[in-house]
């Protein structure tokens, strides 16, 4: 009984609580932070996006070219040589 | 731009107390609550022109405040872990375990009990803590909380119920310590 009463007292201890007013100088600090923060220009964002796209496309093209340039005859000969030269 | 500044200042004066008090309940430290309040309004200023009016300013600012408080706690905990090489905790109790909190808005005769309550609130999971603070301390309805947290009303009711059960269990365990101290 005493335990239940205490638990309820603790749970209700915030009843009648009043809101705390923040310091008046917060708005000044906020304005300072707003003016300090450099904003990224839209042009720079587009430049970065274009660079990444070019890089990915170039890689894709190069990988495709490399795959096409491998001669199937070479692969066949290589596999025969590997099979016939087994040491065990 | 001057128009945006006027809107921003109106928003600031309307919601500064709401943001500061929620941050204070979350972080339980006046300096940290002030820092988060500043960060919230800087974010509000920069996002104002992209605000799509799908929700009210109140709901939107509540969301930003909650996210900023959670990020602040995670950042503080990670800095602390970096120094002590400790392992990651499941909730934010690392940040809080060093200090006790005396809320300046609580009546003097309730200070001791409120200190115990805030200590126990910090052991709840993130979502349980958020719904409890919004419901009990900010006095929001379940519908408002559901909108802020983007959950169903049933989910909010369930979280509030589980938070209360958990608090009662933890306070029940603390009762014996309280009795010993009183004797």
Q: Chain B: give the shortest CA distance to residue A29, in Å.
A: 7
pLDDT band at B26 (very low <50, low <70, confident <90, very high): very high
Q: What pLDDT shows up at residue B99? A: 58
Residue A2 has pLDDT above 90, yes or no: no
In degrees rounded to 5, what are phi and psi of residue B89? -90, 160
CA-wise closest residue to B83 among B72, B94, B93, B96? B94
Who's near B138: CB < 8 A, 6+ residues apart?
A: B18, B21, B22, B25
Q: What pLDDT shows up at residue B177? A: 79
DSSP H helix total and E strand total for chain B: 8, 0
Q: Is A35 on the interface with B (CB under 8 A)?
A: no
Contact B45 A34 (CB under 8 A): yes
Residue A38 has pLDDT above 70, yes or no: no
pLDDT band at B98 (very low <50, low <70, confident <90, very high): low
Q: Is A8 on the interface with B (CB under 8 A)?
A: no
Residue A6: its chain B contacts at CB < 8 A?
Answer: 171, 175, 178
Residues of chain B with a CB closer than 8 angstroms to some CB in chain A: 9, 12, 16-17, 20-21, 24, 33-34, 37-39, 41-42, 45-46, 103-107, 110, 113-114, 116-117, 120, 136-137, 164, 167-168, 171-172, 175, 178
User: pLDDT tens for residues B38-52?
Assistant: 999 999 999 998 888
Find tokens 């009662």 and name the residue: B168
Higher pLDDT residue, B67 or A38?
A: B67
Q: Is A28 on the interface with B (CB under 8 A)?
A: no
User: pLDDT tens for residues B68-88?
Assistant: 999 999 998 887 666 655 555
Tokens of B126: 């993130």
User: pLDDT tens for residues B114-126?
Assistant: 999 999 999 999 9
Q: Which of B22, B29, B37 to mutate to test the interface with A (most CBs of A within 10 A)?
A: B37
Of the candidate CATH numbers 3.10.129.10, 3.40.50.1980, 1.10.1740.10, 3.30.70.20, the domain formed by B1-90 belongs to 1.10.1740.10
Q: Which of A22, A27, A29 to mutate to test the interface with B (most CBs of B within 10 A)?
A: A22
CA distances from B35 to A27, A88, B53, B132 (A): 11, 72, 27, 23
Dihedral of alpha carbons B53, B56, B58, B3, sign: positive
Of the candidate CATH numbers 1.10.3660.10, 3.40.50.2300, 3.60.15.10, 1.10.10.10, the domain formed by B100-183 belongs to 1.10.10.10
CA-wise closest residue to B66 among B144, B131, B135, B162? B131
Q: What pLDDT shows up at residue B2? A: 75
User: pLDDT tens for residues B134-158?
Assistant: 999 999 999 999 999 999 999 999 9
Q: What pLDDT shows up at residue A69? A: 78
Q: What pLDDT shows up at residue A36? A: 84
Mean residue pLDDT across chain B: 88
Q: pTM value?
A: 0.74
pLDDT band at A70 (very low <50, low <70, confident <90, very high): confident
DSSP secondary-structure letter at B151?
-
Q: Is the ipTM of this complex over 0.90?
A: no
- Average pLDDT (B86-110) is 69
Q: What pLDDT shows up at residue B169? A: 94
Contact B110 A16 (CB under 8 A): yes
Contact B104 A20 (CB under 8 A): yes
Nearest to B105 among A9, A19, A22 (CB): A19
CB contacts < 8 Å between A and B, how many?
Answer: 86
Residue B41: its chain A contacts at CB < 8 A?
Answer: 30
Domain boundaries, chain B: 1-90, 100-183
Range ranked top by mean pLDDT from B48-52, B75-79, B93-97, B164-168: B164-168
Q: What pLDDT shows up at residue A39? A: 64
Whether B114 contacts B106, CB under 8 Å:
yes
Residue B91 has pLDDT above 60, yes or no: no
Q: What pLDDT shows up at residue A88? A: 57
């Amino acid at each position: 009984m005493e335990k239940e009463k205490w638990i309820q007292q603790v749970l209700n201890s915030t009843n009648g609580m009043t809101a705390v007013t923040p310091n008046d100088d917060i708005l000044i600090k906020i304005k300072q932070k707003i003016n300090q923060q450099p904003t990224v220009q839209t042009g720079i964002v587009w430049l970065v996006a274009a660079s990444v796209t070019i890089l990915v496309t170039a890689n894709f093209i190069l990988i495709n070219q490399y795959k096409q340039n491998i001669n199937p005859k070479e692969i066949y000969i290589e596999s025969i040589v590997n099979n016939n030269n087994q040491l065990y | 731009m001057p128009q945006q500044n006027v809107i921003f200042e109106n928003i600031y004066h309307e919601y500064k107390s709401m943001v500061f008090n929620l941050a204070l309940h979350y972080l339980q430290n006046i300096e940290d609550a002030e820092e988060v309040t500043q960060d919230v309004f800087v974010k509000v200023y920069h996002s104002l022109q992209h605000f799509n009016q799908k929700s009210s300013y109140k709901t939107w600012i509540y969301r930003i405040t909650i996210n900023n408080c959670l990020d602040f706690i995670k950042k503080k905990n990670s800095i602390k872990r970096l120094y002590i090489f400790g392992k990651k905790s499941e909730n934010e109790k690392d940040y809080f375990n060093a200090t006790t909190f005396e809320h300046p808005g609580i009546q003097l005769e309730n200070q001791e009990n409120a200190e115990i309550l805030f200590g126990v609130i910090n052991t709840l999971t993130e979502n349980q803590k958020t719904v409890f603070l919004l419901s009990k301390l900010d006095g929001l309805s379940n519908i408002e909380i559901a909108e802020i947290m983007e959950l169903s009303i049933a989910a909010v009711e369930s979280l509030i119920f589980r938070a209360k059960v958990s608090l009662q269990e933890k306070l029940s365990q603390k009762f014996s310590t309280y009795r010993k101290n009183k004797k």
